Amino acid sequence: MIIPVKGTPQAKSRMDPIPGLPLAIALDTVEAALAAAEVLVVTSASAAELFLHLGSRVVIDHGGGLNAAANQGLAAAKSGNRAVLLGDLPALQPGELTEALDAALQFPGTFVPDAEGEGTTLITARAGFAHRPAFGPQSRVAHQDWGYVELQVDVQSGLRRDVDTQTHLRGIPSARLGARTRGILEECSLLGVQPD
């Protein structure tokens, strides 16, 4: 499992400057993923130690953006079945990821769309299927065009709830958020998230 994480103060610029929030979201995402699979994080040198401490492998990001980081991780990963997961899923539960990875084994390549139905949060490929990460605007269509099969995952699943803005974050029940994310929002009195 490859998880690209920018790991710099400029990460998630649309989130507004809440110190530590993007990194907290990434750490919560990686921790949940580690309960379901081995994880290789592609991130900055300054953030590497934090992810190593969680138990993931780390590759230092050479720059070039999200898809370049995903490809860098894929090149460094073991051969065989490989997946790329976005690092901004603070409500992800390990069981949700395990279920998706198990379902993905039925197809050469699969993807999970985000809650809005336009982006992508996860792509998987079995051995022999060439990964083509196309994360970004309209990535759902892009991944379909590359031959990935859409997995049917409930829209309320944490696997589909990526966060790019505070509005996205406030749409997630607070009890579902990872502990680091929830803690920062509590400190900033921003837990105006939907009631549980």
Q: What percent of the chain has pLDDT over 70?
A: 90
CA pair distance 133, 98, nearest whole angstrom: 21
- Whole-prediction pTM value? 0.91
State the pLDDT at residue 13: 52
3-state secondary structure labels for all residues of 94-151: HHHHHHHHHHHCCCCEEEEECCCCCCEEEEEECCCCCCCCCCCCCHHHHHHHCCCEEC
What mean pLDDT, rounded, does the chain reach? 90
Residues 69-119: tens digit of each pLDDT = 999 999 999 778 999 999 999 999 999 999 999 999 999 999 999 999 999
